Every structure is written in structure tokens, then in C-alpha cells.
Amino acid sequence: MNFRKGKGREDPEINLIPFIDVLLVILIFLMVTTTYSKFTELQITLPTADAEKAMERPVEISVTVSSQGQYAIDNSRVSFQDPAGLADDLKKAADAKGPSKQEPVVIIAADGDAPHQKVINVLEAARLAGFAKVTFAAQVSGK
């Protein structure tokens, strides 16, 4: 039975007003809760150095530690008894280089597989010899 005579079927409509209201509330929420960060950079001017090269190069004492734990000072093998004996060898190597106003620099070139304690022994010997300037030699990677 059709009680609605004369009226046809109405097409369903989607009411967009509530949808727009929800989107506006979400937009206001996002605007209030968003923090705006200003990224700043330090504007610095680095100093320039116009110094001449040093006329006198510091005395370098090269200490090599092999993978088996053997020591060589300036490419001559030394036997290791204790750090004090190695300190004496370091002093002799510094004296062999001649008198210098600057303190010698001890360069430690240790093999990558050398025992850690052997490198520590060289550091201790440099301390006992009174050499405060110690550095490590490294190989530049081929990358």
C-alpha cells in the first residue's frame, strides 16, 4: 500500500555542516597545541692565523709496538723488562737526538692486534721519563 500518493522518493543528502564543525574544532585544537620552534644559528667569524711555520721542529721519539708485543724505539728493537727500563731507553733516545729547547714528543705506533697492556706500558714509561707530550699514530683509511 502506498499512503503517499503523489510524492516521489527523495534522494538522501549528506549534511556537511556537522562535518565542517568537527574539522574546525580539530583545526583549533591543533593550532593551540602546536609549538613553534625557531631554529637559530650562531653567526660567528672565525679568527685567521697568519703565523709563520715553526722554525724548529719538536724532537720526535717513535715507539713501535708489534702484534707480538715487541718494542722498537726509533726503529731499533729494545728488550722490555719493566716500564722503568723502557723509560731509560726513551731518555737515551731523546739524548741521542741532541739538545733541544722543546720537550720531546713520544709517538706510539701500535699494531691493531697488539695487546692493550703493551701500549699502557709505553704510556707509563713516557710518564716515568718525564715526557708529557704523547700521541698515537694512526693510518688513514682508504675510503
- Is residue 105 in a domain? yes
Q: How many domains does the chain have?
A: 1
* 86-113: pLDDT as tens digits: 999 999 988 888 777 788 899 998 888 8
User: Can you give the CATH number for the domain in which 80 is found?
Assistant: 3.30.420.270
Convert the pLDDT of each residue in 57-84 to its tens digit. 788 899 999 888 889 998 889 988 899 9
Residue 24 lies in a domain: no
What's the burial of 77, exposed, middle or buried (CB within 10 Å: 0-12/13-18/19+)?
exposed
> Cα 45 vs. chain centroid, distance in angstroms?
24
